[in-house]
Amino acid sequence: MKIYDREQKNRENKKSREMPALTLIEMIVSLAVVMFVAAIFIYNYRDSNKRTDLIMASQVMVSDVHRAQNNSLGLLNYGDDTPAGGWGVYFDTYAPDRYVVFADLNTPGSSGSQLYDAQTEGDVNKGAKVVELAPEIRITGIRFSSEDLRQYAAVTFLPPDPRTNINSGGSTSTELYVDLTDLRSGTTKTMLVNFLGLAELIN
């Protein structure tokens, strides 16, 4: 029995010695393939994150326009005050990394070119909301039409309907386009708000 076991072990040892080992070239090729696949995965992962940041930011912006509309419809107070002009959203290319959901304390038209006063209408403790965009996401365009560029604009909703007002520096419009761009990829998403208060992404 012992002789048989010894012979079997000898045969197994002989087989293990006869198995070919990986050469240095085969190892280098295998490593190169693994690194190539990993590089493709990492690139796709980062690219997907860029697209996700822009999509999320643009969808949140649309929902914040709806939030302002709902605040006006529900006659939501700003602190202890009922905003005479309802609630709105203010966009400014001079502060392209944010926008503000604010309470319009002035009746529409009485504020002239002053659409939004950060000191009196943008207090987050009273219900306003300052929305900081994700890093590398910026507001790159505000316009009433493809040719009518604006530095800033506000869309407000006057209760009880709520009626939609789109203003910029004393001018009004029936449409507002806001472009959000991912600076890393140059990709842009555009939100349209129309005179009915409908907000949607159009690309």
Q: Does the pLDDT at position 45 exceed 70? A: no
Q: What was the pLDDT predicted at 142?
A: 96
Over residues 125-146, the pLDDT tens digits come to 999 999 999 989 999 999 998 7
For residue 160, cis peptide bond before it (omega within 30 degrees of 0)? yes
> In 74-182, which ranges are continuous DSSP H helix?
118-121
Model confidence at 164: pLDDT above 80: yes
Paired sense of beta strands 87-92 and 129-132, if any: unpaired
Neighbours of 35 (CB within 10 A): 10
Question: Can you give the pLDDT at residue 71?
Answer: 93
| pLDDT tens digits along 65-92 | 999 999 999 889 999 988 988 999 999 9
pLDDT for residue 42: 72
Residue 110 predicted with pLDDT over 50: no
pLDDT of residue 40 exceeding 50, the answer is yes
Q: Return the pLDDT at 126.
A: 94
pLDDT digits (tens, 9 = 90+) for 90-105: 999 999 999 999 999 8
Question: Is residue 126 within 8 Å of 79, Cβ to Cβ?
Answer: yes
Please, which pLDDT band fits residue 27 given cuts at 50, 70 and 90? confident
**17 phi, psi to nearest 5 deg:** -70, -30
Q: CA-CA distances (angstroms) from residue 101 to 32, 45, 61, 154? A: 52, 33, 10, 10
Q: Summarize the confidence of residues 154-168 as an average pLDDT.
A: 89
